[in-house]
Every structure is written in C-alpha cells, then in structure tokens.
Structure 1
Amino acid sequence: MSDGSSKKTMSTIFCDPTADVLFESSDGVLFRLQSKSLAITSAGFAAPEKIVIDGQPTKLEETAEVLEILFQFIEPPSDSREFRYPSIIKLTAANMFLLAEAAEKYIVFPAMSSCVTAMHFLTNHHPLRITNHAYKHGYKDLLRKAFVVSLIQPDLGLVATLLTSPGLLAKWLLHYSRLRKVAQVGDSWFKEKATGSWDFYVLLILVPDTMDGKAPATNASQIFNDPTADIILESSDGVLFRLHSKYLSATSGGLSSPDQTAIDGSPAELPETSAILEILFQFVEPPSDSRNFRYPSVVDLESTQLFPLAEAAEKYSVFAAMSACATAMHFLTDKHPLDILNHSFRHGYKDLMRMAAPSSLHQPDLVLVAEKLTTPGLLAKWLAYYSRWQKIAAAGDLWFERMAKDYKCGRLFASWTAYIRHCTQDPGQPQLFRAAVARTSSKFTEIVCPYDDSCECKKQSGLIKLLNDKLANMPGFDEL
C-alpha cells in the first residue's frame, strides 16, 4: 500500500479489497468494511467525521480484539459465520464491557442490543460495572436492577474505581447512606437477637415495564408505515408493515429473498402475528432518534412472545434479533429448558443445547416433554439422554442396596432415602449427584451408627467413586 499500511497487520476477517472504508485499531491492525453496511447497522460510523474513504485508515481507540468482535455486528454475517452475529456469552467480563462501550460509542445497534441483553442477567455478578454502563447510556430498567445489587458492595474503594460516570458516585453514596440509616433502625431492634449485616435489609425487587407487544388497533403498523418504503408485508392478523428493501437485504438473510417479499404494491403475507412482527422489524430498520438509536429489549418478554420472536428471527435470518434472543436464552435455561432445548436443537446452537439439556430432565410430565420437543429427532434423543441419567441414578441406588445388606444402619437408610429423593427431583445434574452424596453423608448425624468406620454411612467414598466413573463415560447431549 502506498499509504504505508503495508507494514501493518490486516484483519483475517475484514480484508475485502473491494471495501471502501479502512480502519486501524489502537494496536495497528487494519480492518476493511463496506460504507453501506456501516450506514445501516450503526449511527456512529455513518457520520462523515467517523470514516474516511480515500485509502487512508481512520484510527480508532479500541484494540483489534474488541473491534474484531464489534465489526462482526456490522457486516452481514455470511455462510462461513452460519449467518449469525457473534455470541458474547463466552467473553470475559473485561471484553464484554469494552465491547459494550464501543458499541455505544459508535452506536452499533445489534452489538448494543446483545450486550445490554446479557447485562440484564449478570447484575448479580457485575453490579457496579453494569450500574455504571446503564447510568452512562440511559438504560433505566437495567440501572434499576443493577443499582440495588451494587449497594451490597462493602468495598467503597472499588465502588469509587468502577463508578466513573459523572455524577453517579455522589448519587450512589447518597442512596447508600440512606439505606444505612434504615438498617440502623432495624439493627437497634434486633440488637440482642441477631448480628446480621445491614446488607440483608436490601431485599428490593424492581420490576421494569414490560414491552408492549399488542397488535395495533388499525390495519397499518404505527411504526412501519413510511409511504416511501418499497416493500409491504402483512401479518397473519391483517396488519400491514412498510419496509425498505435496502435494510432487509443488509440486516436479514431470509426476508431479502424474492419469495418472501413483494414490491409491486401488493403485500406479501407472513404467518406471524403483528405483535411478533412489530418487534422483529425493529431489528431490521435502523433505529432512529425517537427509539434512542436502540433495538428493542427482549429481556422482559413473556415466553409466549420470546420464543415466537426467536423462531421468526431464525426463519427470516434477522441477524440482530437472532443474537438478542439466543443471548437471553443462555440465562433462561432453568426457567424454560424444554423450549430452549427445542429451539437450540432446531437451529444448531450447540452451547445452548448443552446448557438446556440437563435442566430439561427436571420435567416429570412426559406428555409435556412430547408437546414441547417438536423438532424431528429431538424427542428420541431426549429419551435416550433421560434413560442414561436414570441408569446413573439407579447405579447409586444399587450401591445403597448392597451396603444395606451388610450394615443395618439407620443413618445409611436415611441417606439412601435422601439420595433417591434428590435423584427424583434433580436428575441430569452431574454436580448435584455428587452434591447429594456430600450432603447426605454429613447429614443425619443424630442417628447413631452401630458400626465402626467400616460403615459407608459416614463418607460414602465408594458411592462417590462409582458416580464419578459413570459420569466420566456419560456423553453430552449433542454427542448422542
């Protein structure tokens, strides 16, 4: 390159020689992107002062590691990326917050959405950082959730280090001080009865407003009704949506296909309801100032909306909606294991599938299992998985039976009963099998064992070894 960039490293992903925008990271890595993609998926890079198209790289403050992730939310994902935006679930906390800050700085809509979705479920893990991010960028619902948890942080030095947004630290300390005064009133009452910290009084539940997913009262969408739009789509309940084909082709891989859209003035009919499409299309058209340059949040959607939205997002390959829904599901596997297992199996989210499968075994109603696991081949796989866990639990049961023949120990029988109850209530959780053994071996101490240390009721090491051997040979759900 005549610009001297030949000595620099070029990104292995963003290296298209036909791209008309060139960026350089703080550590000297070059990225080539299409200006048309920047204009559609961001409002920060699209500004003239943010990009240069004369061959000279525009230097950015972020590292190549962060930009490599961020830019994958800008360029439409290709087949090599499975038509998906990157998952942020496995990012370190440091990288997630750096990515979130860069997404807000350059207003990269899908990256903003994915990061904030994840943060809603991580307030207990990173309350101060999330409080700082939410306050700085105006995410009020997220701020309410994280702020309460952040008040339990006893290290005020750490608080001062992490709450860097102007005005936030003073506000935090004011609230902290007020809660301490409330706690002192309670402490004076409990003075002779308890020594608990004031933190235990901070048991507040703030429920943010839920997203309005009801169908519009008229037969035309109140949001998507631009008369200059060249595509008209109609929901199953008769609501019309006007969209621009240029956005459909840039933000989705399904709606842009000829058989899914009509441009002759007649609407293309879609099987989804207007409630679902109203949310989905907000991930297609670039969010405007009236929407705070943000995609909608899926965090507070009911399951009756989240899963139809996720299915529609996959069906039409709406990249940002796919990312937001999959991110949310990673934190909901205990709450909706069967729905998430069905979705992840159908669309090939292996990590999500592995997370949901163990929790799905808690469902004792096999009729409901059959109703939920509708993807071809999934129910048979689930039953095989269920059967393998039953065999592991049964192996522990047989171990107790053998021990009981040699030792008529009441404590051993009590542990046996507790183990069976545990395996019935919490099957499919390998760490819980061992936890059950650990708990039962130290439980029932009031029951006197008539034998010496030869009785397994005290440590149950044989059972632990048996379970460890069985679990070591247990394949994952995706390996069956």
Structure 2
Amino acid sequence: MSDPSSEAEDRNEVSSVRPCPDCSLPVDVILESKDGVRFAAHSKNLENYSEGFPPAIFVSSSEVTPIVQIEEHSETVQLLLGFMHLKRQPQVAKLSFAVLDALANAAEKYFIHSAIQLCQVFMAKNVEQHPIEVLHYAAKHSYKSLANRVAFLTLDYTFEDMKAKFEPDSRIPYLWLAYKERWMVALRSLLTSQPPAGNLHKGGVQSCDLWWPFYVAVLHDVGSSLVHLRDFETTVSRNLAEIEACWQCSQRAIRWGNTTAAKCEGTWYSALENHSELITRHHDSASFESTLTPSIIMADSSSDAENEVSSIRPCPDCNLPVDIILKSGDGIKFSAHSKNLENYSEGFPPAIFTSSSGVTPIVQIEEQSDIVELLLGFMHLKPQPEISNLPITVLEALANAAEKYFIHSAIPICKVYMTKESLEYPIEVLRYAAKHNYKSLADEAAPHTLDYTFEDVKPKFEPESRIPYLWVLRLSEVNLIMKIVGV
C-alpha cells in the first residue's frame, strides 16, 4: 500500500501546477480544472475577488496544499484567475465566442464581479451571430433587457435547436415555444387577411397588375424569416420598387406596412410581458446604477469634527470596518476600507493606510464626489456600478480616474464604453486614448475629428499637450491627399 504522504507530495509537485505569471503571492490552494490542469492560486485572492468559493476550501487539515476541483476547463480557469489578481485584466475582446460564453457563465457562477459586467457587454455584441447562446446566458442570469433584445432573433430556430442549447430540466425552451407561437399567430393573420383598402384605380378597381407580384414578394420575405415580420415596414419598403410606377398601389402598400408593423410590435411586447418567466434568476444581487499621490489630512484638535459620522457618506450594503476616509475635490467625505483600496487598486500608496494616532486618516483626492462614489463601487466585492448610460463628462472622468489609480476592475469596462462614444464625442475619446496610450482607439476616433478646427481641439487638451499640434499635422496630410485625388 502506498504511503499517503508521498501521494500528497506527488499531487503537489510544482512541475504539475501552472504558476501564475508575474505573481509573488504564496500558493496556498490549487485549482484543478475539468480537463485535469492544475493552477497555483491564492486563498487571499479567491476571497477578495470572488463570492463563489466557500471559505471551507481555504482550510486544510494538514500541511498539504488543498486541491479544489472545479467544473470549468483550463482555458476558463486561467482567465478567471486573471480577473482575480491586482493587475491588468485579460483581453476579453480577443476571445472566441465559445471561450467568452464559458467565461461569462463562470464569472456569474463564482460571483467574480470584476469580470461580470465586461463579459455582459461582449456577450451583447454577439446577439446576431449567436442568438440562442446569448438568450441562454441572459435568461440564466436574469439580464432581462438583453433577453428581450435577442429573443426575436431566435424565431427562425426550431424547438430542437433551442432544447439542445439548454439544460435537460430547463423550462426556457418550452416558454420559448409559447413565445414563438404568438409570432406564428401574427404570421397566420398576415397570410389570411387582406391588406387595407387603398385609393381606387381608374374604373373603380382596388389594384392593378403590379400589385400581385409585389404582394407575393413581401409574403415570400416574411415566410423566409419571422424576423422580417417584426420589421414588416422595412420589408414592405424593400419591395416598393415593384410598384413605384403606380401611385395608388404604392400608397396602399405603405399603409399596409404601417398598420401591420404596429400590430406586430404590439405582439412583440405583449409576448415578452406575458412570458416574463423567461427570466429565472439563479441568485439575487443588488443593482448599481502618470498619477498624483493622494494627500493625507491627519486630523488634529479638530479631528472630532472632521470625522463626524453624519458628515461621511457610508458605503451601501457593506459591513467592513471604516479605517480610512476619502475626501473628494468638492469636499464630500466617503467611508472607505484600506483592505479594499489595497486589494483593488495600485494607485494608493501603502503610506496612506498608516495613521500616527488613533484618528481615522482622511485622504484628499482630486476627483469629484460622483467619480469617487463610482470608483468605490468598483472596489468592493459586489456587482459593479452600471455605467452604460453615464454622460460623456462623467464617463471620461471615471475612465481617467480608473487609469490614474490603477483600478483594474474598472479600466476595461470604461474603455469599452469610451470606445462606443468615438462617433459622437471623438475629441474626448481621442484625448482619453492619447493620454493612456490606447493607439488603436486613438486611430478609431481620429478620423471623426477632421471636421473640427484647431480652436475646437486645443481647449480640450492640457496647455502643454502636443496632441493638438500633431492633430493639425494629420489634418494637413488628409487635406493634401484629398487634393491629390481631386476631392
């Protein structure tokens, strides 16, 4: 019989465990993936960045490093660990959809909040290419707006297609059947009812010879895809060329498109409302809506007034001890926790966590209170703030502050939403991209700034910035090229 201690040593051989790159933390737990790959991990990080690993796994009854087996494959485990370190997060944008899907579901499963929102954004980008998979993800994790957005894109699939993508005991495919049936009823109504009457032709007839080919073409389009039923007005417009020579038929067609589109839109929303069970949440969670060193204000005789609880904003749903106070540029004080600042940010030097007396230190930072509140939301073990609808001024300030304080849980999602503003706010996006060396984003935003003047661009940058002058140089090059090609 083999010696258990020697077996334990074999299991923990360093050569069989993948180390974490650029990490000096002690390895005190090993994660073993479904395909048998072992990863060096740290109980401190699992506890700080995830709510899904129970504390029991961090306790070993012997000196042997515990090995925790999890269901995810090695590629997913490696990505998850990347989100549970104080460093730049993995680049989700470059992942294949299969890997992204696995990562997004695993992030939800283990409550890794630094990964959840970013994964949600990139899953939403795949609604057209992978509608069933995105619907599965949205329904499983209660993302109702995403489920609503993608649901109609699944209408051309079969029940067998849907069932194959969901768990054997899932009710979603059956609810989906009822949802699709409403659209089939709408289609049958369209096929069996006459279009609304139009202006009569010469001789008192309802239509001319052009109407029938047009009518058949529209029904053919709708029959080829139920998606065309929701966009029925567009479907009609696409075929109007068939009858453009007849004013009466054209007007009748437009009226048909308008009235049917309105009916179908109503069907769409009522189906969603009546089948809200499509969303089944598997856990409850709250919803959220170059650096300068922060300066420390150590209270003296006025410390009692400085630290009065009534003047300090508490952190919602948080029971960690308050051992540090952040004071915003507009004078608002926020309760904070040195543990979180240290775990989620590389921008607050350790010195600020040390007080020479029993007084809670107050750290003065430049950012306004709305930005400080958002930053703190990214430095807690809970769902991240919702930033998709922030005004550009707030979003840019948050994005810059996240970079300034190296808050890696906020940096990627801020970059995603700044990228989305390239067309509407190109100067602001160019400024952000240039400041933080995001070359591809700068290249994306720059062409949209070419209609601006130097006077527009210069005030948007710091007085000593070279960017406006480089921008003028680029504008001159573009103008020269346009002259050469005769534009």
TM-score (norm 2): 0.68
1:199 aligned residue (206, 227, 232) = 227
State how far apart, in whole Å, the 2-side matches of 1:261 and 1:387 are: 54
Report the counterpart of residue 141 of structure 2 in structure 1: 137
Report the counterpart of residue 162 of structure 2 in structure 1: 159
Q: Sort the Cα spacing of 1:384 and 1:255 in 2 relative to 1 into closer, same or farther, 3 A.
A: same
Alignment of 1:248 onto 2:341: yes
Q: Sort the Cα spacing of 1:98 and 1:5 in 2 relative to 1 into closer, same or farther, 3 A.
A: same
Alignment of 1:329 onto 2:413: no
Q: Sort the Cα spacing of 1:189 and 1:264 in 2 relative to 1 into closer, same or farther, 3 A.
A: farther
Q: Sort the Cα spacing of 1:178 and 1:319 in 2 relative to 1 into closer, same or farther, 3 A.
A: same
Classify the secondary structure of the residue corresponding to 1:241: strand
Q: Sort the Cα spacing of 1:381 and 1:94 in 2 relative to 1 into closer, same or farther, 3 A.
A: farther
- What percent identity do the matched residue pairs reach? 26
State how far apart, in whole Å, the 2-side matches of 1:34 and 1:171 are: 42
Superposed displacement of residue 271, structure 1: 2.6
2:183 aligned residue (170, 179, 182) = 179
Classify the secondary structure of the residue corresponding to 2:9: coil
State how far apart, in whole Å, the 2-side matches of 1:392 and 1:241 are: 54
- 1:4-28 Cα deviation digits (max 9, x unpaired): 3436252452775722111122333
Superposed displacement of residue 312, structure 1: 1.4
Report the counterpart of residue 119 of structure 2 in structure 1: 115
Indicate the larger mover: 181-190 or 339-348.
181-190
Indicate the larger mover: 34-43 or 323-332.
323-332
Alignment of 1:369 onto 2:376: no
2:9 aligned residue (2, 14, 24) = 2
1:357 aligned residue (446, 450, 462) = 446
Superposed displacement of residue 182, structure 1: 2.8
RMSD of aligned alpha carbons: 3.3
Classify the secondary structure of the residue corresponding to 1:89: helix
2:393 aligned residue (293, 304, 307) = 304
CA contact (8 A) 1:16 1:33 kept: no
CA contact (8 A) 2:288 2:384 kept: no
Classify the secondary structure of the residue corresponding to 1:85: coil
Count of aligned positions: 376
* Structure 1 gaps, min length 5: 78-83, 213-217, 288-293, 398-419, 421-480
Bigger radius of gyration, 1 or 2? 2
Superposed displacement of residue 235, structure 1: 2.4
Report the counterpart of residue 344 of structure 1 in structure 2: 433
1:55 aligned residue (65, 73, 83) = 65
State how far apart, in whole Å, the 1-side matches of 2:30 and 2:48 are: 17
CA contact (8 A) 1:37 1:74 kept: yes
CA contact (8 A) 1:26 1:59 kept: yes
Superposed displacement of residue 155, structure 1: 5.4
Superposed displacement of residue 260, structure 1: 8.8
State how far apart, in whole Å, the 2-side matches of 1:17 and 1:159 are: 44
2:480 aligned residue (376, 388, 391) = 391
Classify the secondary structure of the residue corresponding to 2:95: coil
State how far apart, in whole Å, the 2-side matches of 1:100 and 1:127 are: 15
Classify the secondary structure of the residue corresponding to 2:10: coil
- 1:334-376 Cα deviation digits (max 9, x unpaired): 3433322221221122333333334444x44544333445582
State how far apart, in whole Å, the 2-side matches of 1:335 and 1:396 are: 28
CA contact (8 A) 2:100 2:123 kept: no
CA contact (8 A) 2:427 2:457 kept: yes
CA contact (8 A) 2:33 2:72 kept: yes
2:84 aligned residue (51, 74, 78) = 74
CA contact (8 A) 1:118 1:328 kept: no
- 1:154-188 Cα deviation digits (max 9, x unpaired): 45544333354822222222222213323444454
CA contact (8 A) 2:32 2:70 kept: yes
Alignment of 1:31 onto 2:47: no
- 1:380-420 Cα deviation digits (max 9, x unpaired): 333333333333333322xxxxxxxxxxxxxxxxxxxxxx4
2:457 partner letter: V
CA contact (8 A) 1:232 1:261 kept: no
Report the counterpart of residue 330 of structure 2 in structure 1: 237
2:46 partner letter: L
Superposed displacement of residue 246, structure 1: 0.7
Classify the secondary structure of the residue corresponding to 2:409: helix
Report the counterpart of residue 169 of structure 1 in structure 2: 173
CA contact (8 A) 1:50 1:58 kept: no
State how far apart, in whole Å, the 2-side matches of 1:265 and 1:219 are: 14
State how far apart, in whole Å, the 2-side matches of 1:14 and 1:27 are: 24
2:183 partner letter: L
CA contact (8 A) 2:347 2:404 kept: yes
Indicate the larger mover: 305-314 or 160-169.
160-169
1:319 aligned residue (370, 393, 408) = 408
* Paired residues for 1:16-27 under 5 Å: 16=24, 18-27=26-35
1:221 partner letter: R
CA contact (8 A) 1:45 1:51 kept: no
Q: Sort the Cα spacing of 1:169 and 1:387 in 2 relative to 1 into closer, same or farther, 3 A.
A: farther
Classify the secondary structure of the residue corresponding to 1:32: strand
